[in-house]
Amino acid sequence: MEKFIWLSYDLGIKGDYQGIYSWLDDHGAKECGDSVAALSFSYEGGDFFEALKADLEADVSLDRHSRIYVVRQENGKLKGRFLFGKRQRAPWTGYGTYLEQDEDED
């Protein structure tokens, strides 16, 4: 089977960027901005996310700082999840213009 995906990666300061770049190049990925790539991923069947995770682990050295997020389309809907790592506090938190107003009590 083949699925078109977007892959976002943050491997930290000492991450295996050579490994991920090699993996992306081998899969014919297209650059889509800082640390984002688009590509078609082929796998034999079974769970898509597990197949992609195993393929990445075979070529890229990952540690506890590594984060890889993948988005794919399934049945007309976009689905995304972290293959490695988890969501962190967004660097833009607190920059918005939304102000919370406190209620005064008499």
What pTM was computed for the model? 0.84
- Which residues does residue 14 pair with via DSSP β-bridges, in sequence order? none
pLDDT at 103 over 70: no
For 57-94, give one letter per residue: b (16+ CB within 10 A) or e: eeebebeeebbbbbebeeeeeeeeeebbbeeeeeeeee
Length, in residues, of the chain: 106
pLDDT bin (cut points 50, 70, 90) of residue 102 is: low
Using one digit for the tens of pLDDT, what is the confidence trace for 52-101?
999 999 999 999 999 999 999 888 899 999 999 999 998 888 888 766 65
Backbone angles phi, psi at 31, to 5 degrees: -70, 135
pLDDT bin (cut points 50, 70, 90) of residue 24 is: very high
Alpha helix ranges (H) inside 27-73: 48-59
pLDDT at 39 over 80: yes
Amino acid at 32: C
